[in-house]
Structures are given as C-alpha cells and as structure tokens.
Structure 1
C-alpha cells in the first residue's frame, strides 16, 4: 500500500512538473531568431551590407587592405574605447567586420553601411542623431557615444557564410 501511494505521488508530481518545465523553454519563434546566417560572397572589398539580428540592425563590412592598415595605424591612446582591429575580428579573417548597427549613445542606427551614405570623418559610420563618428573598425572616434559598436558572437561556417548568434 505504501509503495503504491509513493509511486502514485511520483507520477502525479511528474505530470504537474513537466508542463511547468516546458513552459520555461523558449518559444519556437524565439529559437528561430536566435541566430542568423549571412551569405558574404557578394560583398566586395570596401563594401558593407545591412542585415538583421534579433530585431536589431547588423552591419557586415569587407575591409580593404588600406582600411585595415589605417585601423591598425591608430594609436590605442587616441581611442575612447581602446580595441585593436584584431580584437574585433576573427583570426585569419581580419577583413570581415561584423557589428551591431546600434549607436552606443542612444540607440540610433548609424549611416555608412549602404552605398552613398555619410560615413563620417573617419570613413566608417556616422550617427545622424547626435553626431557620433566611428572609424572603419567600428570604433568610436568622436561624438557622445561612449563605446565602440558592439561585435556579436559569430562564426564562419564556410568561407562565404557567417552564422551570427
């Protein structure tokens, strides 16, 4: 009798706990938006594209050798948020810069990713809301923004595909 009561209580606890635990799992649409794949094969050196990651703009830029050299030549002491280009890119893929397109001042979307947009005084990105200017490595160079453009977690799945998230 005691063993039967304990078994019945255990099954009852499982029946109650399982839906509770399942309700804490993320929804299918949330899981689907948790990562983004981007084909970078069409991005020429010096060009960038805008995409979307978790409902935020995402910039993917193919840096030219001149842009890489210019970014490497900037002394870290001149930067408000000191980071080298190597810290912001993947090893062996230093020409690919992936950043969130959200200004770190008040969350506006900077210009400079699309053809013909104002790239600012440093040739990278320019936030039209309050005048923050970023260099080609997405580092803050002037204006009120306190930090560099954020670099999300990403990985190269092939030479032409990036998975962000």
Structure 2
C-alpha cells in the first residue's frame, strides 16, 4: 500500500470492491454483504470518503446512446515543457468537454488524450479548430479506436490478486 494510505481491512476492501462495481447499492444491502449492520457500515463508508479512498460516485454512460460514435486517442507533443506551459495546456484541455481524459507522459509524447466525438467529421473539426490551435502544441498524432476489448472503472481493490 502506498505511503500515507489508510490501513484497509478485509471488510473495507469488500465495501470498496462492491461500491466500485455497484455504486447504487443501498447501505442496507452493502452492510449485509459485508456482514455488518447498517450503522457501522455507513460509518466505514463515510470514513473511506473522508480519508480520500472513495473519491466520487458517478454513473457510467454509454457514449453511443448519447450520440458519440467514436473514441480517439491523441498523442500531443508540445514545443516547450516548462511548467507554466504544461499548466496552460492542461488548463485549456480542461475546458474542452470532448476531451474525457488527459494524461501527461514520460518520453517522446507529452500528453495522451481520450476524446469522444459524434463521427469522424466532428472529430476532424474539433482537431483543427480546438486542439492543434492550442498555443505551444507542436504536433498531434491520432489513433481511432476500432473496438474496446476491456474497460474497467477504478482500480483493483485487492492488491494480492493476480496482476
């Protein structure tokens, strides 16, 4: 476990795993699965929230059902990697709703972005009018997702499981 992380027992891990898989589960059902009564289960959940182990709750939406037919990964290289330039790029990316993820990388590429769009023309318009025009962007290489073989939210809860 990472330094500074709270010590988690088996019940905490079961609670976390269940909430990660079934975020809408009731506290009563969660308590039943954890072998607790509802009040101590709720106290554990609140403690996990307060310690930052549980960061947020959200619904996983189906992109196609909302008209987003394609997912593209864009590898962005910047002209300058000065901290101010990196922060300016990240700030600009944060304002673009079609960019769903932004990760700074070590190596030849500075950032990888996960972008959704209605179709290829919509993405091309976004690329030429919103991404390549960002100050300090040197190049953008894109890869269109053909299919997704695995997409799991969150992280493995039990680090002793097979990697």
The TM-score by the shorter chain falls in which range? under 0.3
Structure with more helix by fraction: 2
TM superposition score normalised by structure 2? 0.25
TM-score (normalizing by structure 1): 0.24
Give the number of the structure whose alpha-carbon radius of gyration is greater. Answer: 1
Relative contact order (C-alpha < 8 Å, sep 6+): which is higher?
2
- Which has a greater percent of strand? 1
